[in-house]
Amino acid sequence: MLDSVTDLRALLKDPTLLATKAYVAGEWIDADDGATFEVINPARGDVICSVPDLDRAETARAIAAADKARHEWAARTGKERAAVLRKWHDLMVENADDLAAILTAEMGKPLAEAKGEVVYGASFIEWFAEEAKRIYGETIPGHQRDKRITVIKQPIGVAASITPWNFPNAMITRKAGPALAVGCGFVARPAAETPLSALAMAVLAERAGVPAGVFSVITSKKSSAIGKEFCENHAVRKLTFTGSTEVGRILLRQAADQVMKCSMELGGNAPFIVFDDADLDKAVEGAMISKFRNNGQTCVCANRIYVQAGVYDAFAEKLSAAVAKLNVGDGLKDGVTTGPLINESAVEKVEEHIADALAGGGKVVTGGKRHALGGTFFEPTVVTGITPAMKVSTEETFGPLAPLFKFDTEEEVIQLANNTIFGLASYFYARDIGRITRVQEGLEYGMVGVNTGLISTEVAPFGGVKQSGLGREGSHHGVEDYLEMKYICLSV
């Protein structure tokens, strides 16, 4: 088991997977001006390595290469593209241990979770390899005797991707999978905190036979500049973003000038509702997964936990007992269930939400402060007595804080749950079929987990409503955002 990142490369079965150059137009390059930035292990504060700090010129070259290479790639049959994607998937799975170690080193999540993300990420490549063979069109009965109408679907062109640090593998494959499956060119810009997972995927893409130029990885701390290049470069026809709603708004405004097709997977504020007819043990199990997966750093984490009055105390006691068992530590060490937060500002956000709750009368049941390990480690926390006036009710904590609200009626909790600008994921536990039907239909969210706290899968459409995003990723719906529909009217 890995216990150090001082020389991560020495710990890998295949050290060549730890790439430290950017991947542009099929070449491994430095920045034009030689600039680099450090990649830090959040658990120890170690510098893992440095990577090039690219700017708009290098990004423009990646886009031009994608715009050139995509034509031959799109001219291949879906079956031919599928074979390359399948090989890419197989290489990811074969190298999952190394990809997980790299992911944990740069992001901090425990190895077991990192391995899970690698397999989850690869599942999108597998899924869209299969979809590549099923990009169907249609024929429509003509509106006049001499007219024959057909509709075909063609790849949109060059797709540009901007992704966050919390799932540095799966957020890229969830986009690159459909894009490459239909014949697009793809330029990825991963978060500066976590570029190594994307570079490792590029190493494997090359080995799988993805043609030079079809897939590039831009490493850069100049996130705004790269985003502007993506939005202003006329060869880019599709922008796909996963991250905060705040940044999503910036990108949508920038992309509007080109009327660019955009997919947005943005912030969330998930309600997790426990009714008095719920199986409380299953509800606690679901809350632990939904709230504490990735140390609370996912957009679909339970952000508000509503418990009906009759079971509030029992649920709070059971949940707190489960939370107290979490093992906080370096994700590279055996048995650790909870790693560090990504950075200091993430810790400060959790502290801010806890302090605000206590000021409003909330009570810490377990946790509540920075962990004795120091750095960005934080005690998994449960706070009772939460009210809608508190910050945690309207802001995404993105950390290990479980705030428990008490409610009385079904109507009240649906109104509370829907009272947010977000609409990504939601969850509830109940057993009465009438209640389940009413609540699942009443929640204004893109995704609803009923008696489960884990809903993410490649087979289902992932995405939000309201200010949680635009479009869906995964499932057979996931290819649509990378296709243009063409209507052909033939006069015979």
Ligand X SMILES: O=C(O)[C@H](O)CS(=O)(=O)O
Ligand Y SMILES: NC(=O)C1=CN([C@@H]2O[C@H](COP(=O)(O)OP(=O)(O)OC[C@H]3O[C@@H](n4cnc5c(N)ncnc54)[C@H](OP(=O)(O)O)[C@@H]3O)[C@@H](O)[C@H]2O)C=CC1
Tell me: does residue 227 bind ligand Y (CB under 6 A). yes
Residue 465, both tokens: 């409503």
Q: Which stretch binds ligand Y (CB under 6 A): 99-107, 153-161, 261-269, 373-381?
A: 261-269
Active-site residue, from 265, 396, 410, 458:
265
By a kind-dependent CB cut-off of 5 to 8 A, residue 96 interacts, out of ligand X, ligand Y, none, with none
Q: Which stretch binds ligand Y (CB under 6 A): 20-28, 46-54, 220-228, 276-284?
A: 220-228
By a kind-dependent CB cut-off of 5 to 8 A, residue 407 interacts, out of ligand Y, ligand X, none, with none
Count the site residues for ligand Y by CB under 6 A: 26
Residue 265 annotated in active site: yes
By a kind-dependent CB cut-off of 5 to 8 A, residue 244 interacts, out of ligand Y, ligand X, none, with ligand Y
Tell me: does residue 191 bind ligand Y (CB under 6 A). yes
Q: Which of residues 390-409 bind ligand Y (CB under 6 A)?
A: 396, 398
Residues 6+ apart with CB under 8 A from 275: 308, 311, 410, 428, 429, 430, 432, 435
Q: How far apart are CA 198 and CA 219, in angstroms?
A: 9
Q: Which of residues 237-256 bind ligand Y (CB under 6 A)?
A: 242-244, 247, 250-251
Q: In the bound complex, what is the minimum distance in angstroms from residue 145's beta carbon to ligand Y?
A: 50
Burial of 85 (0-12, 13-18, 19+ CB in 10 A): buried
Q: In the bound complex, what is the minimum distance in angstroms from residue 34's beta carbon to ligand X?
A: 33
Q: Residue type at 429?
A: Y
Tokens 């969850």, located at residue:
427
The residue among 401, 406, 450, 384 whose CA lies nearest residue 311 is 406
Residues 6+ apart with CB under 8 A from 230: 59, 63, 160, 162, 187, 189, 236, 239
User: What values do phi and psi take at 421, rounded to 5?
Assistant: -80, -10
Q: Which of residues 453-492 bind ligand Y (CB under 6 A)?
A: 469
Q: Which of residues 37-56 bind ligand Y (CB under 6 A)?
A: none
Q: In the bound complex, what is the minimum distance in angstroms from residue 391's beta carbon to ligand X?
A: 20
The residue among 93, 45, 43 whose CA lies nearest residue 333 is 43
Tell me: does residue 107 bind ligand Y (CB under 6 A). no
Q: How far apart are CA 242 and CA 89, in angstroms?
A: 22
C-beta of 117 vs 330, nearer to ligand X? 117
Tell me: does residue 422 bind ligand Y (CB under 6 A). no
C-beta of 95 vs 397, nearer to ligand Y? 397
Question: Binding pattern to ligand Y, positions 147-176, x when CB under 6 A?
Answer: ---------------xxxxx----------
Q: In the bound complex, what is the minimum distance in angstroms from residue 269's beta carbon to ligand X?
A: 13
Tell me: does residue 330 bind ligand Y (CB under 6 A). no
Query: Which stretches of the chain bind ligand X, using CB under 6 A?
Result: 166-167, 170-171, 242, 298-300, 456, 462
β-pairing verdict for 363-366 and 381-386: antiparallel
Contact in structure between 239 and 263 (CB atoms under 8 Å): yes
Contact in structure between 271 and 426 (CB atoms under 8 Å): yes
C-beta of 245 vs 320, nearer to ligand Y? 245
Tokens 């962990």, located at residue:
371
By a kind-dependent CB cut-off of 5 to 8 A, residue 456 interacts, out of ligand X, ligand Y, none, with ligand X
Q: How far apart are CA 425 and CA 199, in angstroms?
A: 30
Q: How far apart are CA 329 and CA 371, in angstroms?
A: 9
Catalytic site positions: 265
Q: Which residues bind ligand Y (CB under 6 A)?
A: 162-166, 191-193, 223-224, 227, 242-244, 247, 250-251, 265-268, 299, 396, 398, 424, 469
